[in-house]
Amino acid sequence: MLTFPSGCSLARSMKSSQRISHLTGGGSDGWDVFYRARRMKAAGQPVIELTIGEHDIRTAPDILAAMDAAARAGHTGYASVPGTDALRKAVATRIATRTGVATGPENILITPGGQAGLFAAAMATLDPGDRALFVDPYYVTYPGTLRAAGGVPVPVAARPEHAFQPQAADLAVVAPDARVLLVNSPNNPTGAVYDAATLADIAGVVTDHDLWLISDEVYDTQVWEGEHLSPRALPGMADRTLVVGSMSKSHAMTGSRIGWVCGPEEIIVEMINLATHTTYGVPGYIQDAATFALGQGETPEEAVAAPFRRRRAITARLVAGQNVVRAAPMQGAMYAMLDIRATGLSGEGFANALLDAERVAVMPGESFGAAAAGHVRVALTVDDAAFEDALGRLLRFAAARAGAVSPA
């Protein structure tokens, strides 16, 4: 029979670590409306979900056929932890072709999706207590990922009046004594594509303060205005930049969990050691399917992106037809960030009221940080007709609410 010293209890000894219990920082994360919409839909209510970045198409049949063939051929055992030679080479070739930066397989670690790549990059660059900067608005996992690696997350606001482009002066204020800056372009949630001037400013701050740069580029195939520029291609940046990429958005392979980190060979070697102690690699048949998909060139990537380009045009047309809701520049990614401050509601208040009144679910801007307050993020992820109907309902609802707001 187990016995315990006086005053000791099993319950007290089985507490989780502070590292995991404080992962999200506590408090509401603003996702209550998402979970409520899911409950309503499960109960049979006709909710149109414009919430998460999940394609309304599935992985292409030829990619699935390649996956099936690889599995049936026996590639179902342990795969090489860094990634198969073929996939590492394919990813390196893709990056070198698109950025002009010499890249070889030795610069690539294959990971179980972009999120695992972000975690590996944070673990590789942060020691406990290091300050880690990230741009606000941000993808929801960023602060928790940085905390999981022992970092102290520090948001840097990118404001709507600057089209959500981060400003060098704001970065420079918090850069002293920091270790890492995490950026994302094309940006989720705002749709901003960082221009050459912004990236030059980012590179200047990173260089001046001797920071690592983690560049999340999972939306690099979804650019509607301008062009995607990788900061790794800027002078002096290849040796201090880790680029995170993924097949999820470019090839509608979200459930396959296949991504990568690209960086200097020396740190990739260290990250392979990390992968040995955590993920132990990615299934070989999935890697073979990814290798096949990348071998098809840009045509399938353009086909996956095409619906979002169309729905961006629908958004621009409908928003232009009214004067209550404003759209942030929709330069890239599968989202529109809408300014609903004229309604007098917060983003969270608007999203909840819209769900109740119109059965349309969108994400509150506050879900993605303080800089997105008074906005909602709309995912362009249902078929065109349903999307136009839902966005029309949102705009009419906003107009009605704005009409109810008393003059100051």
The CATH number covering residue 349 comes to 3.90.1150.10
Residue 118 and residue 253 in one domain: yes
Provide the β-strand partners of residue 49. Answer: 361
What pTM was estimated for this model as a whole? Answer: 0.94
21 — pLDDT class (breaks 50, 70, 90): confident
Residue 283 and residue 309 in one domain: no
CA 117-373-393 angle, 5° bins: 100
Strands (E), 51-199: 108-111, 131-136, 152-157, 178-184
Q: What pLDDT, on the 0 to 100 scale, is given for residue 30?
A: 65
Is the pLDDT confidence value at 71 over 60? yes
Residue 324 and residue 238 in one domain: no
Q: Does 407 map to a domain?
A: no
Residue indicated by tokens 């993808």: 139
Residue 383 and residue 243 in one domain: no
Question: Last residue of some domain: 296, 321, 348?
Answer: 296
Task: Count Cα atoms within 13 angstroms, Cβ side, for 124.
Answer: 30
386: exposed, middle or buried (Cβ count in 10 Å: 0-12, 13-18, 19+): middle
**What is the span of the domain harbouring residue 22?**
16-58+300-400
Is the pLDDT confidence value at 6 over 60? no
Is the pLDDT confidence value at 197 over 70? yes
Q: Does 49 map to a domain?
A: yes
Question: Last residue of some domain: 246, 264, 296?
Answer: 296
Residue 239 and residue 381 in one domain: no
Question: Last residue of some domain: 249, 277, 296?
Answer: 296
pLDDT in tens, 224-247: 999 999 999 999 999 999 999 999
Residue 376 and residue 267 in one domain: no
Tell me the residue type at 76. Answer: T
φ, ψ (nearest 5 deg) of residue 309: -65, -45
Provide the β-strand partners of residue 260. Answer: 110, 245
- Rounded distance, CA 390 to CA 393, Å? 5
The CATH number covering residue 192 comes to 3.40.640.10
Q: Does 141 map to a domain?
A: yes
Tell me the residue type at 387. Answer: F
CA 258-48-39 angle, 5° bins: 80
Q: What pLDDT, on the 0 to 100 scale, is given for residue 407?
A: 43
Residue 98 and residue 50 in one domain: no
Residue 244 and residue 354 in one domain: no
22 — pLDDT class (breaks 50, 70, 90): confident
Number of domains in the chain: 2
Residue 49 and residue 96 in one domain: no
Residue 262 and residue 127 in one domain: yes
13 — pLDDT class (breaks 50, 70, 90): low
- Rounded distance, CA 211 to CA 242, Å? 11
**Contact between 233 and 227 (Cβ < 8 Å):** no
Q: What pLDDT, on the 0 to 100 scale, is given for residue 25?
A: 75
Q: Give the lowest-confidence range in 16-30, 124-138, 183-197, 275-289.
A: 16-30
- Rounded distance, CA 346 to CA 352, Å? 10
Share of the chain above pLDDT 70, in %: 94
Is the pLDDT confidence value at 10 over 60? no
